[in-house]
Amino acid sequence: MTAVAPAPDTDRSHGAPSALGVGVVVWLASELMFFAGLFATWFTLRSSAETWPPADVDLDVARTAVATVVLVVSSGTMHLAVGAAHRGDRALAVRWLALTATLGAVFLANTVAEWAAADFAIDSHAYGSIFYLLTGFHGLHVLGGILFMGAIAGAVAGRSRAPAGPTVEVCAAYWHFVDVVWLAVFATVYVLG
């Protein structure tokens, strides 16, 4: 009988969750509550406004829809990074992480371009305030995710021989959270208005 070697990264310490994984889940739950507060503010302001959005607001919905597709695609490339890391292919995992970070940067560039082109500011009216808060805090989360991916890619590509899969998986959980939150922001701000 031939012994079959276990696949790389299958050791999960007898099913116990990692401290990092638990920490990220707790942190994401707090982030969810934070964004829930922003959405509640959006809908409260919207319900009490005479006109929503104000007349000076002209968002480029088509361009932002394309940026949204880019962000959704980045969830797919992150998924591929997780798969490569669990298979033990560190070099491929790093390449997928780099592509994911690049797609995130493209999305972030669109946010900056949209802010630069806007005819209203954060202090123009309530709409401007909540628009910049929602998109700005999301943009900060995207930037944080890109930096997180850079740190994870550095660790995976470095000398560490620790299993890469669980670490990349934690990064993926954060990134997928950022993507799902954006879908809610896009639907709220750009589709429902």
Share of the chain above pLDDT 70, in %: 93
Structure tokens at 127: 């709409």
Which whole number is the average pLDDT over 103-130? Answer: 96
* pLDDT of 24 strictly over 90: no
Q: Please determine, for residue 7, whether its predicted confidence score (pLDDT) is greater than 70.
A: no
Give the separation between CA 59 and CA 170, rounded to whole angstroms: 34
The residue among 56 and 100 whose pLDDT is bigger is 100
- pLDDT value at residue 94: 97
Please state the pTM of the whole predicted model: 0.87
Whole-number pLDDT of residue 176: 97
Residue 177, pLDDT above cutoff 70: yes
Task: Say which DSSP state 4 is in.
Answer: P
Top CATH class of 32-192 equals mainly alpha
- Among 10-24, 132-146, 155-169, where is mean pLDDT lowest? 10-24
Confidence band, pLDDT 50/70/90 cuts, at residue 14: low
What pLDDT sits at residue 163?
Answer: 85
State residue 161's pLDDT score.
80
Domains of the chain by residue range: 32-192
Task: For the chain, give the number of residues.
Answer: 193
Cβ neighbours, 10 Å, residue 114 = 17
